[in-house]
């Protein structure tokens, strides 16, 4: 991590849960952090807390990862940041406690919109600028242990989105390798967060 000190880490879904833990951990190790989240006030609180406990510059960027245009705008905003980009962590996700067959269209669209398309849109917005950055670079991707096993009722819809997101992660890893940028895929189990 010493090589990443002073560089910018961009973490989506970072207002709470795993994203907030990642963002704080990166800041404590010397990175400046951009906290991206749809929850604007929570993102501001988290960014302020991280700045206070780490002594690192931390900013909040309100954005909905299911909105590709909003992500492109956020990436343009962060290109003006004085620190060189060092890490993009694609973390934003939602817990969808619904079945596939009987699931309401809104739940299905939300789950796939954030967990799958949101990851793709985030990659399209933030990985090209990361590839252009000089110095050490890395990509993180939060998938789920639900992607590593057969889906079980009643969380079949959630598991399906995470299986799909794991496919996205592996595809992005292959593309990032071609750019010489390593990638970590995190598959956490059930944690005490507010995702549900």
Find the catalytic residue in 158, 163, 172, 176.
158
Q: What is the DSSP string of 121-134?
A: HHHHHHHHHHHHS-
The answer to whether 42 is a known catalytic residue is no
Looking at the DSSP bridge assignments, the partners of residue 9 are: 33, 87
* Torsion sign, CA atoms 165, 94, 188, 62: positive
Which tokens sit at 86?
């060092």
Dist. CA 44–CA 174, nearest whole Å: 34
In 15-161, the DSSP E strands lie at 32-37, 58-62, 85-90, 138-142
Give Cα 159 distance to the centre of its chain: 18
CB 68 within 8 A of CB 125: yes
Instruction: Please list the active-site residues.
Output: 158
């Amino acid at each position: 991590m010493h090589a990443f000190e002073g560089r910018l880490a961009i973490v989506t879904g970072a207002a709470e849960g795993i994203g907030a833990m990642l963002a704080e951990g990166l800041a404590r190790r010397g990175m400046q952090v951009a906290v991206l989240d749809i929850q604007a006030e929570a993102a501001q609180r988290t960014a302020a807390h991280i700045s206070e406990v780490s002594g690192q510059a931390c900013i909040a960027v309100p954005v909905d990862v299911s909105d590709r245009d909003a992500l492109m705008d956020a990436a343009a905003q962060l290109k003006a940041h004085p620190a060189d980009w060092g890490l993009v962590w694609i973390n934003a996700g939602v817990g969808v406690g619904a079945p596939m067959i009987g699931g309401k269209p809104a739940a299905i669209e939300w789950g796939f919109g954030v967990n799958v398309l949101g990851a793709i849109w985030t990659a399209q917005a933030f990985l090209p600028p990361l590839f252009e950055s000089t110095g050490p670079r890395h990509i993180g991707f939060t998938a789920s242990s639900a992607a590593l096993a057969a889906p079980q009722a009643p969380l079949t819809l959630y598991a399906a989105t995470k299986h799909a997101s794991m496919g996205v992660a592996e595809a992005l890893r292959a593309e990032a390798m071609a750019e010489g940028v390593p990638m970590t895929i995190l598959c956490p189990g059930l944690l005490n967060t507010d995702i549900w």
